[in-house]
Structure 1
């Protein structure tokens, strides 16, 4: 709600105007909250952060004599990052510039990436309309990157909406190494490609771990990367965020899973006793702990005693001192509901596969709804994405017996989380979102997840302006690299409990093939030297490999009518090495094979995995 109020203020929309513009019941509620919020601020003789600018604009507009005093005081203005200004900032600058118009604005419309928090790229694009006598100075020399990186970034940004003052970036740093494009079979192989290349660069003595950065669109993508880096003993740091297994929502879900396996885990029980919120405050928790101590039993056993006392008045008169439950009816009911949840989860363990157990847990606890209540919409969705990524990990255990899936999962997560705690001062790879990376630079940059639905994000794919902002976000990521740049994507990716075949980001269609090194792992007919590596589908659709004119069109392999791999069969994969087939089945016109490799079990599609049978 505060986010909506802040957005309204940044657009100079008053509570009354906001109420007139409301179109739904939710808007009406927001309008009431906005009015009450402003009333409370007035009663407290206070301003919030947004008001500092809003009130200044209002004073300048209502009292020209006050504005005139500031015109005399500030005769010249310098504004940095002008492309990131919102409406209230834009209006304030225009008022202060006044008739003198001694305004020096520095900005780059190609790096406007904060539209989601109110920035309006039109402010810089229309600068010359606002100030017709302005002189435009293009800063085209780049002191950071090599020419290969700049040419690739330039091709990307030039493929977007045409704007005036197209820059031609150049540098004296030399051509440098070509930009590399890599495809992984899934997010785990993509992460392994990154981990292997970082290890190779460091082993060769060319770079240190601290020289390398891995950038992604959303925080949930860090999970596979973190595990790949840890598996290679590579130190890393999460900048501007929290390591995956240390994120609150992940710890909370894991606590419930530990309780499903071992309800006597008092640490996990204490963590989630009131999550999601069920009206058990610190006082009630303290009463529960004291009562358990008086009974001389673990907390879970105390909950069982409470259930017994509720079921039978005779049991309430236990001979042990302090056996009478000290809880008010509302607290007692909340504790019993919590116990019922633990009992249900415990009953599911050993009967449901791990992935289904997690689904049932999330549904019973209404985790998504709880996150929406606790956080603003964007943060709630990001945290829900983290939870779904944890659920995706459960798919790796499908080949184990059902009763072994949860304990094995918890054991491996505990090992990963323990290794996760490294010295923050050590030489370490930086893992960071693209938004957080703006203004930073690294000798080596890996951009991962360059797929439709991630970049551009699914929330932006149907809005032209938002798609162009996603393009600029990728451009910002590319131009963080000084010497080496790697572009990575996965052929398929697990998301929200499902594994989907992905499409490469449409933005790759604008990068000529000759600018990229080793563009594809799988064999596809090469395009002409002047052609783009990919040709776009119509509109804002995905991208498909371009076929060389005159070459026969590649036909898809025929759909199998029966499985060709069998449990116990030995196979070899080009990346994962030797493995043993656990199971195989037909799925949507392809054969899905589960293979146990040395590191873990993996699901593979036979048509793409190119498994070799061991004869």
Structure 2
């Protein structure tokens, strides 16, 4: 009888697989824990129940979070996919992923979910947002609500939409600016207030107008099948609270929830954490109340100060050893922050003694300030060079407008410098245009993106035509894209405008067909329809297709994209490049 290796017996469940691979690699369990100080290790090894880690600046917070994830997987046998860690920036999330992967990357193909709040909410909504849709009262019409292919409006899109709403309501943007309206709407959403609540709490006519704009803004977003960044959090919370099956799915999946920068969470983020915690309450919140600086955008310091009220059984661990600064800096910082009233308190200390004393200089004007800074840096560089040190200097300023004076000062002292930041690649007009094209192809009801590209490059669709389309959309309740189709069908515009609209409409539909892998079928159907009208050009095209049906496949990948997990707000990777090439070829834009 031939020897048969029973893999099921050898591997067992996935926990056994992890332990087996760990043995094969000769991985010394608990080895990474020896790199931690006592407080860090206690935070890492406290795995069950709610935990609040008060992490002072430079106390190794990121290391504690990543080692805690590694400890859960490597030493406690937790399934990687049962761990959720959320933070605020893509950079922080990427760093966390990289660190965890270095420790336990080879143990399992599955990975813990480490992302920003907004990215996580996008994943949840892409999967289940249609569970919030309600049946339409009109027979034959689709349910009311957002679909999975919703688009996400950035700040420019939001401002454009608010301007459109204000123009329709007859509100003068000199009395209240779109930017201030958006700031008020964002504040309301961060505090989970709807338009009616904003109106009821208003104490002046301006706030009443904002509430009115807010209501119409919400309706327009729904019509465009769009969400803004604040909505991503609100809708995810609403989904998890309103649909038990969805909530139970995520409660079963995520047995461990870690929240970074907890002092910066707002009300929706707090509610999201509470819902995901479920009944097991395995929540680890990491933060520092002394670093709470985002109250202006909705962050609520009470979330961290009152953690024990939400979870009475919570354990609190303070990370007080600082690895970043010298004692002089810590003492000065502690003396300042000790004046804060709302804080739990920490005593930061470091083994690094001495260090340069903190200096203070009050300049009479900005130019003098810049010259003082340049002179000080020049002296520091000379002294460092004499002592064979590797000098490093940085200048922090409050607003970008201040950089000019500092740059002039550096040049006067012939100091090389590098300005961090600048104009983002994605803020360039032509890139935003192409992204808007892709958004319209993905979701034609995105009226803001459609308005950006409907006459870009110029194709003869002017202001009068657009105003007519907006009026048709308002009268019929359709999106702007629906209004284009309705105007073409009913011949509501002059012939020249209709031809221009038809060309734009066909361009988008052709690109959508490429995305769906049905471009050749669309061309054949168009040719057959044109043949019935005896259009010679169409007959010639039909003959060409009949002669060589692969004429289009040779230049375009028209096969349906393979099923794969794509990044939120992304088209399938295999198709995006082809669609961009198609758009450039058809429109001549950015050639």
TM-score interval w.r.t. the shorter chain? 0.3 to 0.5
Under a length normalisation based on structure 1, what TM-score does the superposition of the two structures give?
0.37
Query: Greater relative contact order: 1 or 2 (C-alpha under 8 angstroms, separation 6 or more)?
Result: 1
1 or 2, which has the higher helix percentage?
Answer: 2
Under a length normalisation based on structure 2, what TM-score does the superposition of the two structures give?
0.39
